[in-house]
Amino acid sequence: MRSLIKNKKGNMIMIMIFFALLFIVLFLGLIFVIGSSVINWVFDEAVPELSNLGQIDKVNMTDVAGMTLVPLNTFIQSFTWITGVLYVMMLIALVGVIVASREAPSRWLIGFYLVLTISLIFASILVSNIYEEIYTGTDEFASILKEHVILSNMILYSPAIFTVITFLTGIVLFSGMQREEYV
């Protein structure tokens, strides 16, 4: 009887941290794509104007802009794939942490895990619908969002992606050996 009370929490903290990190990654993806698109849009508008300033006093501002703003603009334009790769790497790292941790929570927490999974899926549906409204627009910002191919698809299909991730990690978590079996 004493050994049953010993592991009272059943590693609930690890499950909560995992889902908190999944929620953070979900919202970071939305912030990445919107922030990157805004910066991209500002540079698309500003760089051509700043590159054609001409001569000011004894300084050729066109040459200065060619050496400073144009390389910076090329780096900013690469955010379209950098943000997508970073998002995918964060998801893979979260799954890797769960698989590598070898923590096996109590089987009584499966219901709690499913409730957190359903809430994550609802949140990802909400984020996906918000992003889809912006993405399918006809304005200039929507065309910039469409340049972010990897991250846009990851956000638009995030309900399916997070469903697969949470169910696979749930299988890994709850099928492992219990901590009491190691003793």
Q: Are 134 and 141 in contact (CB under 8 A)?
A: yes
Question: Which residues have a Cβ under 8 Å from the Cβ of 60 and sit 6 or more positions away?
Answer: 54
Q: For the chain, what are the domain ranges?
A: 12-175
d(CA 9, CA 14): 10
Q: Are 168 and 175 in contact (CB under 8 A)?
A: no
pLDDT one-digit tens code per residue, 53-97: 777 778 787 888 788 888 888 888 888 889 889 999 999 999 988
Burial class (CB in 10 A: 0-12, 13-18, 19+), 113: buried
pLDDT one-digit tens code per residue, 46-63: 888 877 777 777 878 788
Q: What are phi and psi of 59, to 5 degrees?
A: -110, 130
> Which pLDDT band, with edges at 50, 70 and 90, does 10 fall under?
low
The pTM for the full model equals: 0.79
